[in-house]
């Protein structure tokens, strides 16, 4: 409760501080049940290549765990955003939600795996354009598959839902890079639907 007579500006200031520094508070099932302020953890900075993660601990506490070997005198950082998002999206979200432009090594130089820039791959189409607008047609096909996934999400009939997701997945497997977000989204939808139907074999293929 705020003391009586608290000004609107003071209230806004407090809400801003909570929004910038609070952590999700989860129960033992990992479900978010509220937010909590942890002053010591709140001083940690962000990196898109974090060396630490914040994990729920016992009794409502949180634990800071290293995610790789950390050399002495290295700053500990965790991620404020979804690391599965490509650079463009991560930077946009960080700017909107936390008010800064990320300048970490991944944002500046990209993340590389097998000679490939992972962030570029996340947004890439699999087939290069032949200069005759073919890639645009592929792009439109991929965009149309978004409607299929949305319809599947709202569909009460499980068989119809799985048929829609199968159709969308087939388009995205044909045209999207294996690391692209669009491909991941369809694979993930199929995996979840298959699991909900008890089809573990199909879920494992995604």
Minimum distance of Zn ion from residue 102's CB (angstroms): 3
Dihedral (C-alpha) 141, 144, 150, 152: value to the nearest 10 degrees? -60
- Token readout for 73 is 């005198």
Minimal distance in Å, beta carbon 108 to Zn ion?
8
Cα separation, 29 vs 32, whole angstroms: 9
Nearest distance, CB of residue 129 and Zn ion, angstroms: 29
Using CA atoms, how far apart are residues 98 and 92, in angstroms rounded to an integer? 10
Q: Count CB atoms within 10 A of the CB of residue 166.
A: 16
Pick 85 or 203: Cβ nearer Zn ion: 85
Binding site for Zn ion (CB under 5 A): 48, 102, 104, 107
Closest by CA position to 163, among listed 152, 172, 153, 147 = 152
Residue nearer to Zn ion on the CB measure, 103 or 157: 103
To the nearest whole angstrom, how small is the minimum distance from the Cβ of residue 144 to Zn ion?
32
Output the smallest distance, CB 75 to Zn ion, in A: 14
Q: Which is nearer to Zn ion, 39 or 99 (CB)?
A: 99
Nearer to Zn ion, 29 or 82 (CB): 82
| Least CB distance to Zn ion at residue 46 (A) | 7
Nearer to Zn ion, 48 or 52 (CB): 48
Nearer residue to Zn ion within complex by CB, 169 or 179: 179
CA-CA distance, 189 to 131, in Å (whole number)? 33
Which residue, 182, 196, 194, 198, is CA-closest to 149?
Answer: 182
Q: Which residue has the tokens 């949180």?
A: 62
Distant-in-sequence, close-in-space partners of 187: CB < 8 Å, separation ≥ 6: 169, 172, 206
């Amino acid at each position: 409760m705020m003391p009586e007579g608290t000004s609107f500006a003071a209230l806004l200031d407090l809400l801003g501080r909570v929004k910038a520094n609070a952590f999700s508070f989860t129960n033992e099932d990992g479900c978010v049940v509220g937010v909590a302020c942890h002053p010591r953890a709140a001083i940690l900075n962000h990196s898109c290549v974090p060396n630490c993660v914040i994990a729920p601990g016992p009794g409502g506490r949180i634990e800071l765990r290293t995610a790789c070997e950390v050399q002495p005198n290295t700053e500990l950082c965790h991620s404020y955003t979804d690391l599965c998002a490509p650079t463009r999206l991560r930077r946009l979200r960080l700017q909107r939600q936390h008010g800064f432009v990320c300048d970490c090594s991944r944002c500046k130089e990209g993340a590389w795996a097998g000679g490939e820039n992972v962030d570029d791959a996340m947004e890439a189409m699999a087939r290069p354009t032949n200069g005759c607008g073919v890639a645009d047609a592929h792009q439109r096909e991929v965009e149309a598959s978004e409607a299929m996934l949305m319809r599947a999400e709202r569909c009460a009939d499980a068989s119809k839902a799985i048929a829609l997701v199968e159709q969308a997945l087939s388009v995205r497997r044909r045209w999207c890079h294996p690391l692209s977000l669009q491909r991941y989204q369809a694979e993930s939808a199929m995996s979840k639907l298959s699991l909900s139907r008890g089809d573990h074999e199909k879920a494992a293929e995604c």
